Structures are given as C-alpha cells and as structure tokens.
Amino acid sequence: MTPAENAQLALLLEVAGTPKPGNVDRERDFSDLRFEHFLAGAVGAGPGLRTAEDGAPVGEAFEKAVAGMSQQEGGNTQFGALLLLVPLVKAAAKLDEGEGLSPESVSRVVEDTTVEDAADFFRAFDHADVYVDDPPEDAADLDVRRGSDAVPAVEDREVTLYDVLALGDEEDDVAAEWTGGFERTFWAADRLAELSGPTSAKAARVYLELLAREPDTLVAKQHGPKTAESVRVRAQQALEGGPEVIEAFAESLVTDGVNPGTTADLTAAGLFVALTRGEVTV
C-alpha cells in the first residue's frame, strides 16, 4: 500500500478497535457521533493524505485532509490524528529505498514547516469545531479558534507551524509529538509489533496501554488534571482486571462524558508507523 492508503487504513483500524473506553468504536456510538462518521471521515481525508504523499507542504495537505474529513454529519472525527498522520505520510513518501520511517525522518519534516504551513493550519479550523485551550497570554492573536482570521497575525509574527505547535506542547499530546520526535507514536508502533492477534484487538490494547501510561490531555483540558489522572489510574486497573473491568470502565466514561480522544489520535499514528514498517498486516 502507499503511504496515504496506510494512513487511511490506520484511521479505520483505530476506530474498529474495541473496547476503547471513552471513544466511539465498532460496538459503541455516542448520541451525536457514530462509528459511521469515523468511517466517512477516514474516506474524506483521502485527498489530503494523497496530497501529502505527493510532496505538498504539510499545511496545505493538512487543511485539505481536514476539509475532506469534515464532510460528514458527526463533525470533528479525526483532526488530531490527521495532524500526526500528515507529516508521517510526507516523511514515509520521502524515504529513500531501504530507509525506514523513524523519529528522525518525521522530525525533519515538521521542523522544516513554514509560515504558510502555519497559515493553512489556522485555516483548517474553519472546517471543524475543535476543542482547544486558551492560547498563552503573549500569543492571544494566535488563538486557533479564530481560524483564518488569525492568518495576518501568523504572517506578521513569521511563525512556522512547528513554532505554533511548540506554544502548546506542554498541554497537548499531539503538539508534544511534533516537538518531541513522535516518541509516543513510535512506542505505540513498537507495542503493536510485539502483540499477537487481530490488528483491531491489538489497537484497542495499545490504546489502553497509552492511556494507562500518561494522562490524556484532552481529558485534562475538558475536565481538569485530577480527572485525567483518575482516568489514567483506572485504565491501568482495567488492564490488570480483564474484560469485565474494561467494559465497566468504558461504560462509566461514556456516562460521565469523558473522552480520551488524544489517546485515540496517538493510536492511529502508531498504527500508521507499524503498517508502514510492515510490522502489522491485515
């Protein structure tokens, strides 16, 4: 498969993993967000992912992928996952024969982003309603919730997309991947390679392991750091307790409206790396 096809497959395998506490999976829908919306989002993202594969700038490919993803009734299904997958696809497509996808290769891609990439990143927020925190006090004009209205500030400040994400890398796991060599993404890929069984089951297991290792930053933003830490501890207990405990954990998160969505984004990125390396096959 091509890098773009592997990225779409990663999105599909991620949402097909079950049980995936706090998130939509093939056995659990939300009232306003369903399994089918994620399937449609993965299909819609295809043109943008292929644009990245063809060598387009990261920002251009990302905005195109988000615009396509958003053309379903559920709204934002995979914004964060695409922010990870687009540079990974671009890195995979640029590899010389025999060179493997690595933290170094994707870091080169994100560190080379430009001011125009940052502008396209802000334009992507015009297509989807994404939950974000307030920006730092000295960067109020770079509030992503302004969408394309913030582009003049981006251009005046001459900030690259890497610079923009570095502003939030302490509070957001996806931003931290960009500035930290995609550390958790590659950890997830390594774990997927170690596990046996159907890929969707392995994806669900790695999702829980990621959640048990570090608090989900989306949960922290929406519900506070204490809740995020509580969810992390309960994920560890669920892993140790088995299927019945995992199912009870999943039901409680849905009841409480707690969604560890950033962990799902990391799982999708890990699936892409494992697929690209040939360590996971379907």
**pLDDT tens track for 68-97:** 999 999 889 999 999 999 999 999 998 865
Q: What is the mean pLDDT of the chain?
A: 93
pLDDT value at 62 more than 60: yes
Query: CA 17, 22, 23, 25 torsion: positive or negative?
Result: positive
What does residue 66 show for φ and ψ, rounded to 5 degrees? Answer: -65, -40
Q: What angle do CA 139, 266, 141 make, to 5 degrees?
A: 10
Tell me the C-alpha distance between 212 and 195, whole Å.
17
Q: Is the distance from CB of 269 to CB of 185 less than 8 angstroms?
A: yes
Both tokens of residue 215?
């608090």
Residue type, 19: P
Give the helix/strand (H/E) hosting 151: helix 151-157
Beta bridge pairs of residue 28 = 25
Stretch 169-180: mean pLDDT, rounded? Answer: 92
Domains parsed from the chain with CATH numbers: 3-275 (1.10.4200.10)
The pLDDT > 90 percentage for the chain reads: 82
Q: What's the pLDDT tens digit per position in 91-134?
A: 999 886 556 899 999 999 999 999 999 999 999 999 998 888 77
Q: What's the pLDDT tens digit per position in 225-279?
A: 999 999 999 999 999 998 999 999 999 998 899 999 999 999 999 999 999 999 9
Place of tokens 């000295």: 138
Q: What is the pLDDT of residue 242?
A: 87
| Residues sharing a CB contact under 8 Å with residue 211, sequence separation 6 or more, in sequence order | 21, 231, 232, 235, 260, 263
